Amino acid sequence: MDLVKLFVISVLHVCLVGCQSTQSSQQASRPHPPSGGSSNLSFPWSRLRLPRYIIPIHYHLLLHPNLTSLSFTGSVQIQIDVQNNTNWVVLHSKGLQISKATILDQNFEHLSDQVLPVLHNPSHEQVGIFSPRVLSSGQKYFLYIEFGAELSEKFFGFYKSTYKTSTGETRVLASTHFEPTSARLAFPCFDEPSFKANFSVRIRRSPEFISLSNMPIVKTLEISGGLLEDRFVPSVKMSTYLVAFVICDFKSVTATTSSGIQVSIYAAPEKWQQTHYALKVAVKMLDFFEEYFNIRYPLPKQDLIAIPDFQAGAMENWGLTTYRETSLLFDPLTSSVSDKLWVTMVIGHELAHQWFGNLVTMEWWNDIWLNEGFARYMEYIAVEATYPELKVEEYLLHTCFAAVGLDSLNSSRPISSTAENPTQIKEMFDTVSYDKGACVLHMLRYFLTDTVFQSGIVRYLRKYSYRNAHNQDLWDTLANVRITHIRSIIHSNVTMSQCNKLHMHKISMMSTWTLQKGIPLITVTRKGSKLMFRQDRFLRTVLPTDPLCFLWHIPLTYKTDVSNAVHRHLMTKKTDSVHIGDDISWVKVNTDMTGYYVVHYEDGGWDEITKVLRENHTALSYKDRTHLIHNAVQLVTAGHLPLNKALDLIGYLQMETHTVPLLQGLGYLEAFYSMIERRNDHNLMHNLGVRGQTYARRHILGFFRGIIDQQTWSDSGSVLERRFRSEVLSLACHLNDQPCLEQAKQSFKNWLQSNGTLNLPTDVAETVFSVGAQDEHGWNSLFYTYTTSLSEAQKHKIMSALASTKDTNKLHRYIFFPLVFAQGLWYVGSCAEGGWEPTGHHLAWNFVKKNWNRLVQKLMQLFFESIKEQISELRAVQIALDNVQKNIRWMQRNLEPLQNWLNEQMKTKKDQIELLHE
């Protein structure tokens, strides 16, 4: 049953992420019989990727969206460069009704007196336009196409979005989301990242709306029918997936960067006051990136707009970045400090893309990590530099922990992977591209030094500006900078052969991290004065059956108790060693987790680490302490370390004062408890016993009693203290801690009595709402507030709180709430994965079973049809199966040890109480 559950969850996830574009345009017309007696023509192209002999140069695009009929018409004139003699132009189109197609020469003379035949290949999302007259190699032509379609009901292509005013009025806008393969839903185009071109956009609209696109408006004309036509400045060369336009009635705030770039934040009129923080961040970030990259932002303006219906977190369209409202808007009265950090990081991510992704774009989607890995890493660098008070450095640890979680499954993939069809391309936007990509870059930066790393990426950006790059191009540039740096340091005449050898060594090192999947496990053993290393692939599931040997070039770092110095060693073999001397008591490998690898200490090594943490934990940095907790638990999951060893290590946390390792350990203890709680397995209950379950909960509360009691129900303190408070009080109430529950209930009662005018402390509001949602009146009151609130931050907290109830009737009502069923279906997925109370967990599974046909009809039918030949190959399914196996093996290995450990803790506690009474 668990296999089926996770399979369904995975398909829901893939469908929610990717099938909207597949679904909306499988309605693409069947192949139309060509006119003019050419009905015997067959489609001229059989490959998924377009032919390279026709290159787009400039698009002249006219669009007229009708927000009443929810449809749009348009025309596009594409200047093309023909590089082989041909009668055919093949490009992308999906879901568009093409009414006219013609080709003109450079003098704008028609090549044919008749409308040209247009053939469709829906399976490849392509159209072929036939010219009776040969298009000659070396000549330029103009392809002109008229088309129309309905505005999409999904979140891809050119789609309809809506929002409600405070008076309940529904207003409509139209927006775009084209990455990776959905520009073809809005206009016929060469929809591949390497076909960069300039775009001149015109948009027709009613006067009550405004229109936005990548570039500023150069002029607005009045045309017939009371319409206005906005004409935008021609764009720089860019890929089709970065084109964007929005037609809406939003308001904005505007400021200017130090270099004169106009920055504007757009939002629904009644949410205009929530845009001011984003404006400050965007201006500051653009200034930072211009200085860091030493390349001016190439557009005259940068708009950021909060779209009410938006599935991704944000999108980096050049000059017009689009965001979920929760990713851009900040309300000081309802947004927590975590919300503020999230908004800051997302803006940093999207603005980093203006260079990494927009200025320099990957050649093909197999190297999407060049966009996303860099943007994910640069958001940390940018926030750390511009808002140091937000303490963003801890999030890099969690980013790498997330990457390890996926990369330690058999179903992982290399950072640079094959991706051809749209389904495979969508699957590339995953933890590997984003998080592992960022962590490998962090390791590389630490290995090369900050100076060399920054110089290398600046050189890379300059060399490939307005062009496309491969994975190898980045490595070549960084390796060359490294060689130049070394030569300048040693002031010697390094020979060409030595340079080439060094260059190839760096290339080889970097390729081991991007061209093979997985993460290394470094096993550390002490042999006298030597430290021995062995590398293997770290897997949390069954060992792979294929005989291929995994070998990485690993920049190892380590610290010892005799010095604060960080020692470095590049490991390029299966086994290796370094001399450390005889007077070393302990060694910590992977200093501050600057390297992307898991470390296991054999022959009593973990006992030595545990002793250090218990006797003098500050001998190690907070990052090292957090890393040790993470490694220990991962090794337990993989069967390399007994559970009691990891729990003994976590026991040092009673002396810990830093919030990051505290939260890491707290999270794992909660995860162990929740795993037992949510299983709802009679055999498990019998083996562990209700008493054991209760003690597990009491043990966690007792373990952190002092920390819990120190927390205030306020927004006071540093950023780290506020985030810690939010997590600790949430956990305490979840574990039924009576003082926590009483305070939350009183706060909720006060909030209700104030009729919502009392502003709860933002960092504990979600906990207060979750406790308040447990009774009938509280749940209904929150449900009403959700439907009327203008704060997306508050609505997000309420939505999570509503889902926390144990009342199945309320959960049933919640799941079928239209806003949840439409955009919020991911809540059902998170519920089924275990994010809610056990009651909700099982209800969500029953919901999926009972409503399978409805879900299929709404989301999946055409998605399944489009991938029926490759369903068994979907990585999401493979990951789900791997996770099932991992969880089963964890319970098999650790249920009895967990029971024994809890019994031992209960016995120890009992003995202590008896001693006190004596």
270 burial type by CB count under 10 A (0-12 exposed, 13-18 middle, 19+ buried): middle
| Six-digit token string for 136 | 């000659």
What b/e string do you get for 108-119 counting C-beta neighbours within 10 Å, with b at 16 or more? eeebeeeebbbb
Q: Computed from CA positions of residues 152, 154, 155, 161, in that sequence, does the dihedral angle turn out positive or negative? A: positive
B/e letters for 854-869, b = 16+ CB within 10 Å, e = fewer, are: ebeeebbebbeebbee
How far is it, in rounded angstroms, from Cα 577 to Cα 529?
10
Q: Is 169 annotated as a binding residue?
A: no
User: Among residues 606, 602, 688, which one has the least CA distance to residue 650?
Assistant: 606
Q: Is 353 annotated as a binding residue?
A: yes
In terms of C-beta distances under 8 Å and separation of at least 24 residues, what long-range contacts does 552-556 make, across chains too?
552/512, 552/513, 552/516, 552/520, 552/597, 553/508, 553/509, 553/512, 554/520, 554/522, 554/595, 554/597, 555/443, 555/446, 555/447, 555/595, 556/522, 556/589, 556/590, 556/595
Q: What is the CA radius of gyration of the chain?
A: 29
Active site residues: 350
What are the φ and ψ backbone dihedral angles of 33, each rounded to 5 degrees? -65, 125
> Hey, what are 341's tokens?
């950090």
Largest CA distance in the chain: 107
Q: Is 420 annotated as a binding residue?
A: no
What 3 state SS string does 564-578 have? EEEEEEEECCCEEEE
SS3 60: strand
Rounded Cα gap, residues 765 and 801, in angstroms: 10
Q: Nearest 10 degrees: CA dihedral of 844, 847, 853, 854? A: -90
- Answer yes or no: are the C-beta atoms of 292 and 381 closer than 8 Å: yes
d(CA 379, CA 306): 19
Calculate helix-pair angle for 437-448, 450-463, nearest 10 degrees: 120
- Name the binding residues: 349, 353, 372
